[in-house]
Structure 1
Amino acid sequence: RLDRVPPESRALLRLAAVAGREIDIRLLSHIIMRGDAPTVPVGNLDAWLVMCAEASVLEVRDNVWRFTHDKLREYIIGHLSNDEFRKFHRLIAESLTELYGDSPHYFARLAYHWRKARDYHKEREYAILAGEYAFQHGNARQAIYYLARALQLDAELTTDNAIHTHLLLNLGLSYIQTGDLSRAQGILNRVLQEYRTADDTYGQGKTLLGLGRLYHAFGEYKVALHYLSECLDIMMGLGKKADIAHALVEIGQIQIALDRYESAVRTLLEARSIFQELNNQHGMALALQEIAHVMLEQGALGEARAYFHEAQTFLLQADDYRGVVASDLSLSEIALQDEDAQTALYHIMKALRQALNIGAIPLLLQGIGLYAQWLFQQGDGEQAAELVGMVWHHATTDGDLRTEFAPFIKRLKANLNPTAYMAAFSRGEFRNPQMVARNILSHNNLDTRIENHHS
């Protein structure tokens, strides 16, 4: 097929292959305008696309130009010289920077191209930006990848201990979100020691907040509250209102877990008031979600639903994918209690798809457990027992999640044949949550459910 493309048009084809399977028309046009793509005159890009399509090298799919096969693109890349390979990646990185400037949606792509161009200082710069952006928006899996890479480069290229410790803190917090608590514990203990050595009071406060979250996830509430109390003392002394509010939200969550609902609402309303004063919509959403959980625990389903919907509006505006997943899971719980099967399944499917995308395993497990409850309502008790067995046995399942599903497991035991129940529950131990979630999604067309839900 490549032989059908005229030799003078192949240089741009090689460049396009390095840029990705989909053809970024704006990027190629910019490179041509820069004069860095000889052999393809300005204005001839459309003719070049048609020529490559006639040679069956490129095609249009859903109004997007792309290579017909990724193996064809890989073949082209594989036959580039090392110098040409690095030159093309540098050219693409420079052009993306000129085109999109500081748009966070291109940080990860820029980190990739600078790495392939072997400009590790520029890669470090964009790996930090990509990791921080992913962390701030709840994409823990991507945050871990880029923060770990940035830390590796930071150790090799610089001696800036302050940046290194800050990145390490966010890496530890990201591991909490994925449920890898032992790894998070080791990192956060190291970070706290580094901040104490550097006499960085604010850094210590941020780390104490992280340790509070960690021990909350472990189910060790007394230890968690101790760390959070230390955090509050530091943040109040420094006048860091946003951090005070975040610590209050964490304390409110623990009060809910301890069934101290009145105290929890007071704590969360105080947090919301601070966030409102700061015009921090994301923080307001966090507080609203937790107040909604109190309403849910007390059986006020209508109020809980309203709080969750209000919180989700703020979370969507803030691009907090993890928060959106959590609110969808809560809305599915309400629908299950209302025995509204269609709405429950809609929110479960939304949550599973997004949890898979961001690598949030604890939320994925919660979603699968709620799907098990949905199956039970539909009369499929054995499949429900197998799925909830997987949730129960998984290494990242914490005490809160087991407490949440314990009443459901009791109902399953009461309604199923004991032998059938034990066999199904035991089988679940060997299931993989990611594979299970993909299988659930493949059997339930989410796009169709979205249309039905809105109609």
Structure 2
Amino acid sequence: MPKTINARYQLAQVLGQGGMGIVYEATDRLTKQAIALKQVQVKNHLSLEDDFDISDHRLAISREFQTLASLRHPNIISVFDYGFTEENAPFFTMDLLQEPQPISVIPAHQSLEDKVQLLLQVLQALAYLHRRGIIHRDIKPTNILVCDGRVKVLDFGIAATGDGGEEYAGTIAYAAPEVLVGKRASEASDLYAFGVIAYELFAGHHPFNTRSTRELISDILVTPIDLTPLLSYETKPLANQSQDNQEPAKDATKEEEISTNTKTIDLSFDLNSTVAFDDLPTMPEIVLLSTEAFQLSLTGIISKLLSKDYKDRYQEAKQVIHDLSRIIGNNFPFETQAMRESFLQAASFIGRDAELTTLLSALTATKAGSGTLWLVSGESGVGKSRLLQEVRIHALVQGFTAVIGQSETEGAPYQIWRGPLRQLVLDAELNDSDLYALKPILPDIEDLLERPLNGLAELNPEQAQQRLFAVFAALLHQRTKKPLLIILEDLQWASSESLALLTYLQQSLPNLPVLIIGSYRNDETVHFEDLFEQAEVLKLDRLKPEAIVELSISMIGAAATKPQVRELLQKETEGNVYFLVEVIRALAEEAGRLDLIGSTPLPEQVFTGGVKSIVRRRLDRVAESMYPLLKVAAALGRELDLSLLRSIASDINLEPWLLSCADAGVLEIQENQWRFAHHKLREGIISAFTPEEEKRIYQQAAQAIEAVYVDLENHAAALAYHWGQAGDKTKELQFTILAGEQTYRVSDNLGAVAYFSRALDLVAPLNPAEQADRQLLIKVQMAKALGRLSRYDEAIQLLQECMDLSKETGKQAIRAEAVSTLGRIAIQQGDYLEATDHLLESLSLFRQLQEKRGLADTLVSLGQSALYQGDYKGATQHLNEGLALFRELGHQSGAAYALSSLGMLKASQDLLPEAIRDLQESILLYQAAGNRNGTAGASMNLGMITDLRGDHELASEHYMRSLSQFRELGDQSSVAACLNNLGFIALNQQKYVSAQAYFLQSLHITQQLNDQWGTANIVANLGKLSFESADLPAAKKYFKQALQSAKDIGALPLLLEVLEGFARLKAREGDMQMAVALLRLIINHPATDAEVQVAAQEFLIALLKNEAADTATTPMLPQEKLEPLDIVVNKLLESK
């Protein structure tokens, strides 16, 4: 009789044998399907670590098999099943390929295009594996088979995830140099092995001598690749180039063709042009012009794949796909429909650690002989099946037999038991009559066992069922040597007979090593667990937001981390795995590829008809008497406010109402909070409102909020919406203004603009006098929010309108607020002279009005203006006065605002410890007040001081954190400041290309915002960059532009900083007299920033030391003969 494994797989001939194990042709007795079965040799699969525990090894192998079974890709062999034999030897089953050939034996006469097409399929498989975090580690021709023109990558016996150990067990002839010296296998090492195969395919032989292991290892590590056998493929022009543009082929061996001449980086920039930049700068590679054609050739691609240094190789398979596709003039798809489905259907197990731990404890108890019944509940699509798959994996590792049953909506009697029983009877020790009793579950039992059965005389239905139950129980009692896991999915569709059998078997479980886990949809079954009172129940909730992102990454890669993608997936699915897959599938179809999701505008809503029908079906289950209150609850929001519901329906007992709605799957409780089970359920209720019903329900909701809560400001947004839906425009206006003020306070500037814009629409129909009063208030508030968003033109227009209106109405308080806001906008634009004029006017008005809050705001703004103009004494006075007033008023954000400015003032005076102290206190106060904009600004300032202290890494962290926050808040002015600061760090680290990219991005924003100071500052930094790059003409041009701008806006500290750049430029040009004169002027000027002053002093000392020995040097001008600053500036501006 043929040998069998686990009574299921009948082995036939050996298909192959190697160091890692034996591959058999086999037959699956359950499916009658011919398969391939690989039995892994444990002793050869062990880690190189001497202390590797065998149980750990079994788990590691099972993990690998789990990974294999989850892979679904057209160019990767499909793994069907896996486990351990009776002797604990690991095995897995897979496709049986018909007449496969290793890729290396492809006929030499095949065309270039055919060979490249095969290699592209291999790369598709590698791209898929690497995206799943899997390194193959044994890429070689015999593991890449070709069958009917399709590539199949196989033999993952030593595959590992990307974070695995550093040991290597692959084939030396295809091992990358770094792997041979003990470094970790990586995507790059897989691509090296692919490169060797590509070389063999075109050259007809391995690139090195493989007969001697010692010589082979030496060649791999140090011997250059001989590319001459590949050059014959370069005689034809590239398919994607026209014949007219084809250059003559060049001899790649000539010395002049491999010169190291590099292109000069062009740092010039037209300040009047408009340029769009990506969010983050890229580092363009410095290309050898003479080798460009070589790099795009087949020889060049293979050469790059076989680079000795992994950093010089391709780092991603898709990069190779792109370049190889160009060779044959083909736009080879990065992603086919089959590939897309492989990602969607094989998503990683994420977000269920606690639930898994619970069920693993049940496994442990079962193995000790104490079985039980577990019920896993959850709504459709939440991930029940995926959790049970993971439990099965661990059961196999622990030596269990694991079987699965699946119920169907229109299934036959005992349908859910058919799968488990088919496997269990294969090695059952039952007589014919017992086996015959199982025919109601397995009508084909005789064909399955390949023998006729002589059954008992026909029994009546009751007797037959009792007999069946008894035989099934006896079958479980035979499993004493090997524990058993039975998984029953979708119990909600199980027939009454199936549930009766489960009830019967449950009685025997405590004394058996048998664990039964059943899953059911709790949105389709009411009180299912009541049928099994002794069962343990585990409810599966939706995934948390961070798990949604992690799971999405496993399906679509880095695209899932894009904020707009993340937010859409969270909004549309709320952690339902099924919805998540469906949403991603829909988005991928729209985008064309999974990894392109988010690269084009995303829809506001993904599902329409399909989900609506699901929603309607669930809502129809709510009792009619429960519906009126449910409608009001829907109007009030996703989460239920029980206080409001009691106020609205004081005659209703809420507890039974909540439970009834929960039984219908419409409501749920999470962390002691009742809410609609899905937002689409709530939307489904609201969408069915009639116009009259809508007004009445929303009026009820608004009135309840006003009746129950005293702090209406915190409910302003809800009240504005409810009264608007109810049609009460007066009430809507009242709470819309309040909501705008509230959102502005928490830095939701876009939200504030939207509320104030709606408020302006609402005041339009009012009488002129009332309209003017309301408009003044609204427009000033809206202008402030627009200013934070750097929409200065809109803000200034509104403020000018306010000033005109205030003259007509005599509203001095509004005028003071408007003028003060104009002053702050002028500061943001770098127009300090105009800013000071506005702020002094508003200061006078606020003092007349005795309005301390406005006075404090204006004092701090005056302090900032003085700081930027180098008036440190005036800045100190204004900022301290403003801070004292804010502390007196108990205004946290205001005090934080003053402290942040004081921190920068002290930093300018080289008082760094005091500056850090002020900024840290500022951040704490902003955070306590919930002011995100202020927190981000103070964090950016702290980054500047950290950079001054020489900690560039920590400074970059501060800047990147602030950059992210400012982008989220829409504060473009601060985004530009962060980018400029990051550019300055890169400049100091001599990363010139990166610095240029940061500066130009920042410059683009400041020009759009008409930010004169910001533009001048960045231009000055571009001058420094040009100077460091030895482009003196460009440096001079930038310095002159920055000097002119700083002079025009009265930014004295910036002007002096630019002069310091001019001093270095003059010294480089040999004009030492002018350089020293400029340095002395900078050092002795009271407005010079401390950092600039120190730099000037150090440079002056260096110049004087260098010139001391030079007797021919012109004597330095004495300090008293230095020309005034304005004359020096004008001379520099007029110079050529």
- Candidates 787, 792, 797, aligned match of 1:186: 797
Partner of 2:884: 273
What is residue 31 of structure 1 aligned with on the other side? 648
Tell me, yes or no, if the aligned pair for 2:829 and 2:1010 is still in contact at 8 Å: no
Q: 1:358-386: CA deviations, max 9, x gaps?
A: 44332344345555667788997656644
2:620 corresponding residue in structure 1:
3
- Alignment partner of 1:156: what SS? coil
Summarize deviations over 1:139-191 as a string: whole Å, max 9, x none: 32222111221122122245412232122122122211111111111111111
The verdict on how the C-alpha distance between 1:180 and 1:79 changes in structure 2, with shifts beyond 3 A counting, is same
Structure 2 residue aligned with 1:108, among 717, 727, 739? Answer: 717
Match of 1:205 among 816, 829, 833: 816
- 1:121·1:157 contact (CA, 8 Å) conserved in 2? no
Q: CA deviation at 1:210?
A: 1.7
Larger deviation, residues 218-227 vs 352-361: 352-361
Which residue identity lines up with residue 818 of structure 2 in the other structure? Answer: T
How do residues 23-422 of structure 1 correspond to structure 2 at under 5 angstroms? 23-33=640-650, 35=651, 41-53=653-665, 57-60=666-669, 64-159=673-768, 160=770, 161-338=772-949, 340=951, 343-344=954-955, 347-348=958-959, 350-352=961-963, 354-356=965-967, 358-370=969-981, 385-394=996-1005, 395-396=1008-1009, 398-406=1011-1019, 409=1022
How far the C-alpha of 1:19 sits from its partner, in A, is 2.5
What whole-Å deviation, never above 9, does each CA across 1:16-53 have from its counterpart, x for those lacking one?
A: 332233344443344332x4xxxx53432441343133
Distance 2:982 2:862 in 1: 29
* Residue identity matched to 1:19: L
Checking the alignment, whether the CA contact within 8 Å between 1:176 and 1:214 is kept in structure 2 is yes
Q: Distance in 1 between matches of 2:855 and 2:1010?
A: 28
CA distance in 2, matches of 1:207, 1:258: 23
Deviations 1:317-376 (A, max 9, x none): 433332222112212323344454675465446534543554433234434555566778
> C-alpha root-mean-square deviation of aligned residues, in Å?
3.2
Instruction: Report the Cα offset of residue 126 of structure 1.
Output: 0.3
Contiguous gaps of at least 5 residues in structure 1:
419-455
Shift in Å at residue 11 of structure 1?
3.1
TM-score, normalised to structure 1's length?
A: 0.79
Distance 2:967 2:926 in 1: 18
Distance 2:780 2:645 in 1: 39
Structure-2 residue corresponding to 1:19: 636
Counterparts in 2 of 1:360 and 1:61: CA distance versus 1, 3 Å: farther
SS at match of 2:764: helix
Aligned residue for 1:219, secondary structure, equals: coil
Counterpart contact for 1:249–1:287, Cα < 8 Å: yes
Preserved CA contact (<8 Å) 1:178 1:359? yes
Residues 140 and 8 (structure 1 numbering): CA distance in 2 closer, same or farther, change over 3 Å?
same
Return the alpha-carbon distance in structure 2 between the equivalents of residues 75 and 406 of structure 1: 56
Question: 1:283–1:74: structure 2 CA closer, same or farther, 3 Å change rule?
Answer: closer
Q: Which moved more, 1:244-253 or 1:105-114?
A: 244-253
C-alpha distance in 1 between matches for 2:721 and 2:889: 36
Matched to 1:213, the amino acid is R
Q: CA deviation at 1:134?
A: 2.8
Q: 1:302 to 1:94 in 2, by over 3 A?
A: same
TM-score by length of 2: 0.34
Query: Are residues 306 and 119 of structure 1, via their aligned partners in 2, closer, same or farther at CA, if it must alter by over 3 Å?
Result: same
How big is each residue's C-alpha offset from its partner over 1:303-327, in whole Å with a ceiling of 9 and x where there is no partner?
Answer: 2110011223333343333222211
Q: 1:262 to 1:382 in 2, by over 3 A?
A: same
User: How far, CA to CA, are the matches of 1:13 and 1:376 in structure 2?
Assistant: 61
* C-alpha distance in 1 between matches for 2:1029 and 2:697: 62
Counterpart contact for 1:341–1:374, Cα < 8 Å:
yes
Distance (Å, rounded) in 1 between the aligned partners of 2:706 and 2:960: 36
Find the residue that maps to 2:620 and give its secondary structure: helix
Quote the Cα distance in structure 1 between the aligned partners of 2:967 and 2:644: 30
- Counterpart CA distance in 1 for 2:637 and 2:921 is 39
Give the residue type in structure 2 aligned to 1:14: K
CA, structure 1 residues 354+114, in 2 after alignment: closer, same or farther (shift >3 Å)? farther
| Alignment-mate amino acid for residue 711 of structure 2 | D
The 2-side partners of 1:337 and 1:52 are apart by 62
- Give the C-alpha shift of residue 72 in structure 1: 3.7
Residue identity matched to 2:1012: G
2:829–2:1014 CA contact under 8 A, matched in 1? no
Q: How far did 1:405 drift?
A: 4.5
The whole-number CA distance in structure 2 between the counterparts of 1:83 and 1:323 is: 45
Counterpart contact for 1:142–1:358, Cα < 8 Å: no
**Richer in strand (by share):** 2
Give 1:201 deviation, angstroms.
2.8
Cα distance in 1, alignment partners of residues 837 and 938 from structure 2: 28
Q: Given residue 682 of structure 2, which amino acid in structure 1 is its aligned partner?
A: R
- What secondary structure, in the 3-state scheme, does the structure 2 residue paired with 1:44 have? helix
* Cα displacement string for residues 79-128 of structure 1 (whole angstroms, at most 9, x for unaligned residues): 22112222222222122222322242211111111111111111111011
Contact kept, 8 Å, 1:329 with 1:347, in 2: the verdict is yes
Give the match's secondary structure for 1:179. Answer: coil
| CA distance in structure 2 between the partners assigned to 1:247 and 1:170 by the alignment | 16
Question: Which one-letter code corresponds to 2:721 in the other structure?
Answer: Y
Would the aligned equivalents of 2:959 and 2:981 in 1 still touch at CA under 8 Å? Answer: yes
**Structure 1 Cα separation of the partners of residues 658 and 952 of structure 2:** 50
What is the letter of the counterpart of residue 133 of structure 1?
A: Q
Structure 2 unpaired stretches of 5+ = 1-617, 1032-1136
Q: Identity rate of aligned residues, in percent?
A: 26
Task: Give, in whole Å, the separation in 2 of the partners of 1:351 and 1:8.
Answer: 53
Distance in 2, matches of 1:32 and 1:78, equals 22
- The higher-RCO structure (CA 8 Å, 6+ apart) is 1
* One-letter code aligned to 2:695: R
Q: Distance in 2 between matches of 1:414 and 1:52?
A: 72
Between 1:43-52 and 1:243-252, the stretch displaced more is 43-52
Q: Which amino acid aligns with 2:896?
A: A
8 Å CA contact 1:285–1:312 kept in 2: the answer is yes
Rounded Cα–Cα distance in structure 2 between residues aligned with 1:378 and 1:41: 69
Q: Secondary structure at the match of 1:333?
A: helix
* Matched letter for residue 123 of structure 1: E
